[in-house]
Structure 1
Amino acid sequence: MEVRIEPFFDPATSTFSYVVNAKGYRECAIVDSVLGFELRALRVSTEAADKIASYIREHDLLVQWHLETHVHADHLSGADYLKQELGGQIGIGSGIVEVQRVFREIFDFGSEFEPNGSDFDHLFECGEKFNVGPLVVTVMHVPGHTPADVAFLFGESVAFVGDTIFMPDVGSARCDFPGGSAENLYKSTRRILKLGEETRLFLCHDYPPDGREPICMTNVRHQRHANIHVRDGINLATFKDMRNRRDQSLSLPGLFFPSIQVNLRAGKLPVQNSRGRRFMQFPIDSI
């Protein structure tokens, strides 16, 4: 059965989002949607999410799932906004509970925030299967970038891998966020690269070197032969040394603090106070 995939690129955050359905069927999933946020102006924008909503309506699709590969630290999730606009359930890996526990302490959320994943409609377990229309989707737990990362394997030929792996000339994701692990990331990439060689891998981000345009898709064969960080022949010790040294040189993403606070809650913005205003926190000396 043919899987139809429509990518959407947000240049402000270098993020790819996707609408996925079986050709000839209305049921679809939205993967890793984006809600815009201008840090200097402290304003939310729905422009990126509205493009997805327009596509859904234009093609008369029925949203079953808003799928999150992980708690993104570089953009706000559009899942809650799109759920309100289009319906559907928001799903993420069950490891979200561990991530919520860590950041509850960092942000000092207090008793009003329960780290139980209840803001999401469904928490996926590793190996769990579910349907998008007639398509069978398998959940793969691929920790390393964060403890909660998952990949979604549609049938046997298409996988949405989030930040676990990038284009071959970019390599792999950082592992220095709370709960991250270079060893776990290496093992997760090897798990993905054991899929069939022609399996198409759809990425959450691309940060292309000068001279090429952003690309959303690669395949297992190309990754195994050419990925600068995890191609065949690179062992765990070499990868860990490279990844740990590289991560020490990286600064936090520009939208780290607003993204985490919103995405821990399935894309829900902070609750308005009595004056109709919303506030976010920026902890000092806590990361």
Structure 2
Amino acid sequence: MSDTAITAATAQIMMMLRHPQDRPVVRSFFDPATFTASHVVHDPATRQAAVIDSVLDYDPASGRTNYASAQQIVDYVREQKLHVAWQLETHAHADHLSAAPWLQEQLGGQLAIGADIVRVQEVFGKIFNAGTEFARDGSQFNHLFRDGEGFKLGNLDCIALHVPGHTPADMAFVIGDAAFIGDTLFMPDYGTARADFPGGDARMLYRSIRRLLTLPVQTRLFLCHDYKAPGRDTFAWETTVGAEREHNIHVHDGVEEDAFVSMRTTRDASLSLPNLIMPSVQVNIRGGHMPEPEDNGVSYIKIPVNRL
């Protein structure tokens, strides 16, 4: 991972702190069914926006989908007269289905994810026996971000950072003074993301987190999930680099890599798989699209027996 990318991200954040009127505006939408926070971030000057980690509602008992959660995003974007330039995914989620294709139809924007999605597609393509018709080249997305790649959101400078560990393809998106960090850190009282999915790596997660925590302490961090730590009554999904460095129960300043890896490995061994991992991964490695319909016109989700 490039130190140059972090240096550039730090410089742009310091600029935002000197000119707070140019800071991006963030509106978050929390889905309690999957504990997922989706975010709409926009440049106040141009009103260009990005939608990050959207949720498609899915009932596993019936196999039915609906767009109630995503419709909230559509309503907000239209009310605020925003222009969506990007539909960003921090990774191929294992706990909810992405609504990005439907949101593209409603609002536009390029669908983008990290370039290492091809590694995730290769692993899960085999697990789900997806066949040769399933392309493992990332072509389901409009753009594949590489580490340190810069892009724009209106007048705002943005940088994509590769932060693997939870999966090989996780990305964080630094947009102005805000960083959207997916499944790396949770709120300080809850800790860090798991690293036991295929291709995950606790040691790599630690290094990715420490990399993120070199950003300025005032950097706003927007998380992908919250599960309410014991003793906390409300959900929360926004924190800062400074708060994480001081208070994160798993990885605050002073926690060494080997200690973190031991903790994370032990903790992960006690966790059950997410309820929606089977449909979520199959859909999300396809850019939020369902598997191709079979000869009766119906899409099917596979459940590999005794495989995960």
1:116 aligns with 2:137: yes
For 1:151, the equivalent position in structure 2 comes to: 172
1:146 & 1:2 partners in 2: Cα distance?
A: 30
Q: What amino acid is the match of 2:276?
A: L
Structure 1: 5+ residue stretches without partners: none
For 1:250, the equivalent position in structure 2 comes to: 271
1:163 aligns with 2:159: no
1:228 aligns with 2:249: yes
**Larger deviation: 51-60 or 121-130?**
51-60
For 2:116, the equivalent position in structure 1 comes to: 95
1:272 & 1:112 partners in 2: Cα distance?
A: 12
Which structure shows the bigger proportion of residues in strand conformation? 1
Task: Find 1:193's aligned residue among 213, 219, 224.
Answer: 213
**Larger deviation: 224-233 or 206-215?**
206-215
1:160 & 1:179 partners in 2: Cα distance?
A: 22
For 1:17, the equivalent position in structure 2 comes to: 38
For 1:286, the equivalent position in structure 2 comes to: 307
Structure 2: 5+ residue stretches without partners: 1-21
CA-CA distance at 1:275 after TM superposition: 3.2
> TM-score normalized by structure 2?
0.91
Task: Find 1:206's aligned residue among 198, 201, 226.
Answer: 226
> TM-score normalized by structure 1?
0.98
Task: Find 1:272's aligned residue among 293, 299, 302.
Answer: 293
Q: What amino acid is the match of 1:127?
A: G
2:206 & 2:139 partners in 1: Cα distance?
A: 30
Write out aligned runs for 1:27-176 (5 A).
Answer: 27-155=48-176, 157-176=177-196
Q: How high is the sequence identity, in percent, across the aligned residues?
A: 49
1:39 & 1:58 partners in 2: Cα distance?
A: 32
2:252 & 2:150 partners in 1: Cα distance?
A: 29
Aligned residues: 286
Spell out, residue by residue over 1:194-250, the C-alpha distance to the aligned partner (whole angstroms, 9 max, x if none).
000110100000111243211110001111110000000110110000000000011
Q: CA RMSD in A?
A: 0.9
1:261 aligns with 2:282: yes
